[in-house]
Chains A and B, each alone.
Chain A
Amino acid sequence: MTGEEITAAAANEDPSGMSLKIPPPPTPSKENKGNTPVETESKTKHPNEETALLQVERVEGGEAKAIVLSKKDMEQSANRLRNRLEAIKSLRTDKIALTEIEELVLQLGPAAITRLENGEILTKNNQALLWYEIHDELFQKSLAAAKKTQSSPGMLEKVPFLRRFAKPKTEFEDTNLSLRSDYLEKIRFYDFSDEAITLDLTNLNTLRLNVEKALYGGKFSNPLFDQDIFGPNGYPQEFIKGTSNRLHTEVVNQLEKIAKQKGIELPQLFTRSQIEQSRAIFDAFQAASAQTFYEQGLEILRNKSITSDSSAIEAQAKKLEDPPKPEEIKPLEETFNNVSAEVINLEAKHSNLVAQSEQAEASLPDLKATSKTSLRLLTYRETDLAQGITNLKDRLRPLSAALGAPPVMPHGLTAEQQAGIITTHNNTNSQQSAERMLLLEQLKIKEDYLEKMRQGKILAEVAEESAEEKITELKVALKKAEKELQNKKAEKDKAGKEFEDKKREVAEGGTPERKEKAKALRKWDTVTDGQNDILSAYYYEDADGAFSCSNLSRITETADEQVEGTEQLRELIFQHINKGEYGPEMARKMLSDETIARTIIWRYKIDTSRPGSLRDTYGLVEAERQALSLIPMRNAAQRRAQEEVVKTAGKQLAKDVLPYLKRSQLGTGRILQFLISEGVKSAEKGNPYLELPKRYDEYESSIRRYM
């Protein structure tokens, strides 16, 4: 008789005695909720017994049903419990701390084993203990073997009426985590062969399914309880590994953070007390859902679809493919001539400024010397005059005091004598007055002269300062003119190359570069059409594989010395939608390492001015680019060599910033969208090889649209 036959017989009250009926847990009535009578082995209740029973009641609930376990399952359960009990006793002898489940097995295990072995009716304590022990063992062994044990429905599950005959199949999925526990060390589980582990896990899971079906009925499938409340140690099995589900992946990330904060590894977190685990899961879930749904919301609110002007791109491509006509040379020649004339003008302007500047600088020492001499003389005269003025004032002071004073008349003089004194006094007064007038005139002349001296001194000083200012102004103007001239010369070189290329193209009837460029232009249009597929591949289809954030951020090099991350990113954009058309060389031109790196720098607002290797690399890229711009277009070989140097520097820059792509799946998704959008815009203008401006602020509004 098979297990199913025994079960079926039991359900029909088979009197053979080979099956066992276990009374269901009583449903709590309104009158005695919380005081449900518990069937136990003894009258003394252990708190844990009561707990286990109540949990079973809660899940069972509803109408009481007969619970049936096959004889085979009972034997197997008894064996497993016995083996576990022995191992626990041994752990206790070794003074190793026991887990909550192990304590339960130690206390309630012997009675349950006896009943199982004797085929007696199980109490609810027995049932609960059995359930906990099986789950605990399955969980520990699954994690230790780095396998997630799961049950998939049998093929009959999908067929109505035949569903009851369907048998769940045990399957395994490899995970990244592995757990070591004292119990598994004790039974030397780590020495088991792969086959033995697979067999043990399969048997254990089959037993779990049978016991669950017997205890809760086939319909019990509430994941809220299945995964968490009744999960051994409270560990939600769904979280064992990160899935492509964003929320779950984020929960795992958060759990890892929490474990790290506690200074432990993630699996160890689930060996902590149940309440600690619950708290960790709660916090991780809160943080993860806040993050995930916020990102989703932002994605909805900000997401703008990328559109391309296909006809503009096609027109540009067609222009490149059509054999160039002789009349196309003329406008390029005119442009070249105009730019050449502008260069001549700018050169003249520049030379003039150089001459002025040199002249000003040359005359400055003389000016300074003259100014210095003048100042010295003026200062000397100023001092001399000031002294003269002081002397005059000294002489004027007694004269002014004497004038107006009455004549001194001693007593007892005759009238004649008095008249003589008055006459003398008047004469003296007249002389003094005349002298005073003369001195006052001299004083005024000297004071006016002093004022002029002082003004002259100021003018001499100002003249020197003005000359210096003039030189500074000339230097600024000269620098500006130099830059202007340099840019114009580069423009002239470019125009000259275009003119020469066009002449060659007309003579040869088109070039392979033009055809490749046309192909690249059309590729951007295809990318726009396939943006949904690209983003779906990134977010969902291959989110754990080639196009995962961690793969896109790889900085190791491929066999042909390319950065793996940027190669993968180009494959995602260009190859994913149209494999036949993909050429890695062309893709590297369309989206260089440097362009990808610049986008990452903008997306994450990375400070490239902070001292460190990134600043050095960033500076190197700028310097090499500048060096390239200074090489005339006609020096093709030199330019090619310098272009390689720029590429190498760009590769290093990409390596420095690619790890940022691991930060956020959404952030990297936005970078993809930005690159596609800018590539398309550039293609519409006829350039399929995307080049980004150097400055973030020049481009901010465009960046904000996608990032």
Chain B
Amino acid sequence: MISLKQLIKVSSFPEEFKNEVLGEIDELPQEKISDLSKTCWFFISADYENKLRFELQKMTAEMTKGEKNYTQEDFDKVEEELFNELTQKLEATDTDAKIEEVKKQLEEHSVIQNPVSSDNSTDNNSSNSN
């Protein structure tokens, strides 16, 4: 399982926040670790989807203008490269199980496919924490 430590390092949070979490990580209750991990996955997934969407839109626009011609393979390659980049950052390339976990988490925390989910995590947070 990919740890919160790893997720925090990869997420684009401000450094100050990262240090705060990493400093307290050993004392955090399981509930908070789980909530924070969820938020990280939403963040990572949003970032991944946004980058992918932009790249695909850019390619589509280039095609619409007649400037370039891409194939199905080119589109797939963009996705593959982004995914590989992410798994490397998460240090999740060593086992198939970890790669599968990244895929699963990206799908589960997709903010595009399930836009309400990103808010649900907060909902849970406030319920838990209060």
Contact = CB atoms under 8 A, between A and B. Distances in A.
Interface of A: 28, 33-34, 46-48, 50-51, 54-55, 57-58, 61, 100, 223-224, 227-229, 234, 238, 243-248, 273-275, 278-279, 281-282, 285-286, 289-290, 292-294, 296-301, 303-306, 531-532, 535-536, 539-540
Contacts of B39: 293, 296-297, 300
Q: Looking at A247, A248, A306, A536, which has the most chain B CB atoms within 10 Å of its CB?
A: A247
B130 interface: yes
Given A55-B63, A58-B75, A296 B126 contact: no
Interface string B12-25: 11100100110010
A47 B61 CA distance: 12
Contact of B53 (A33, A57, A224): A224
Given A278-B54, A301-B24, 13 more contacts: A100-B64, A247-B46, A247-B119, A274-B57, A275-B57, A281-B57, A289-B47, A289-B111, A292-B118, A531-B130, A535-B130, A536-B123, A540-B123
Q: Sorted from nearest, which 4 A-B pairs have the closest CB atoms?
A: A47-B66, A34-B71, A293-B43, A278-B57
A28 B71 contact: yes
B107 to A, nearest CB: 12
Interface in B90-130: 111-113, 115-116, 118-119, 121-123, 125-127, 129-130
Interface in B44-103: 46-47, 49-54, 56-58, 60-61, 63-66, 69-75
Nearest to B113: A223
A61 B76 CA distance: 12
B10 interface: no
B130 A298 contact: no
Given A245-B119, A247-B115, A301-B36, A286 B47 contact: yes
A224 B61 CA distance: 16
B32 interface: yes
A224 B112 contact: yes
B49 to A, nearest CB: 7
Contacts of B60: 51, 55, 229, 274
Interface of A is mostly: helix
A178 to B, nearest CB: 24
Given A48-B66, A301-B20, A303-B129, A28 B36 contact: no
A539 B122 contact: yes
A54 B66 CA distance: 12
A524 to B, nearest CB: 16
B58 A54 contact: no
A299 B66 contact: no
Contacts of B13: 290, 293-294, 297
B64 A228 contact: no
Contacts of A51: 60, 63-64, 66, 69
Nearest to B126: A535
B48 to A, nearest CB: 10
Contacts of B21: 297, 301
A531 B118 CA distance: 22
Given A54-B70, A238-B115, A275 B58 contact: yes
Q: Looking at A46, A244, A289, A299, which has the most chain B CB atoms within 10 Å of its CB?
A: A289
B6 interface: no
Nearest to B121: A296
Contact of A245 (B56, B64, B73, B115): B115
A198 B36 CA distance: 45
A293 B115 contact: no
Contact of A50 (B69, B127, B130): B69
Contacts of B119: 244-247, 540
Nearest to A61: B72
B72 A57 contact: yes
22 contacts: A33-B73, A50-B63, A50-B66, A57-B72, A224-B112, A228-B57, A245-B116, A275-B58, A278-B53, A278-B57, A278-B58, A278-B61, A281-B57, A293-B40, A294-B17, A296-B121, A298-B17, A300-B129, A305-B130, A532-B127, A540-B119, A540-B123
